[in-house]
Amino acid sequence: MSGISSASYSPILLSHQTNLSITASTANIGYDIGTPITIPRNGIAKITLVGHVNGGNGLISLNLTRENNTYNLGTEYSGGGSLFANSYSGNGAQGSITATQPTLATYSISSNPIGISTSNPQSQPFVLEILVLKGDILQFQAGNSTAEGITYIDDLVVILQ
């Protein structure tokens, strides 16, 4: 019987980045943070993120580049919503990174796509899973709701399954 070998789809560590930060020269703007991640084969990218801020609201999103198109996943910088969050402003509201100490962030379904709300945003899991194709590029972006605010990504893990 021919087919896909299970060994070819064993989980592999694509990226482990630590101690990343950006200082937002302008509020509510996304800046590239960390090293872009190129996807070596089709699969499911599993992402966990630990972050904190020195003030303001940390805003973290993910750009997915596929062929000649780039798609932003999860942040409306002007609205203050972040794909990854440790706090929410209310039922169905968008969240952000507000912890001043490193904190494991959940991902917010209410931020992606914009306008979708959920009845309990605090229940989102700590691992974001997205389908990816060979050749896709993942680039994280970070910003802050306050000019000169610093947003930190203390630990970022991306595993391909």
Kindly state whether residue 3 falls inside one of the protein's structural domains: no
Convert the pLDDT of each residue in 88-124 to its tens digit: 765 445 678 889 999 888 876 554 444 444 444 444 6
**For the chain, how many structural domains are there in total?**
1
Kindly state whether residue 5 falls inside one of the protein's structural domains: no
CA triplet 78, 61, 158: central angle to 5 degrees?
175
Give the domain extent around 90.
13-160
Kindly state whether residue 1 falls inside one of the protein's structural domains: no
- Predicted confidence band of residue 2 (pLDDT cuts 50, 70, 90): low
Kindly state whether residue 34 falls inside one of the protein's structural domains: yes
Phi and psi angles of residue 23, each rounded to the nearest 5 degrees, phi first: -105, 120
Convert the pLDDT of each residue in 19-32 to its tens digit: 999 999 999 889 99
* Cα–Cα distance, 11 to 55 (Å, whole number): 36
Kindly state whether residue 6 falls inside one of the protein's structural domains: no
What pLDDT score was predicted for residue 8? 67
Kindly state whether residue 59 falls inside one of the protein's structural domains: yes
Structure tokens at 150: 């610093």
Convert the pLDDT of each residue in 56-68 to its tens digit: 889 999 999 999 9
Residues in the chain: 161
Kindly state whether residue 66 falls inside one of the protein's structural domains: yes
What pLDDT score was predicted for residue 91? 46
- Judge if pTM exceeds 0.85: no
* Cα–Cα distance, 154 to 93 (Å, whole number): 25
- What is the SS3 assignment for 151? strand
Residue 88 sits in a domain whose CATH number is 2.60.120
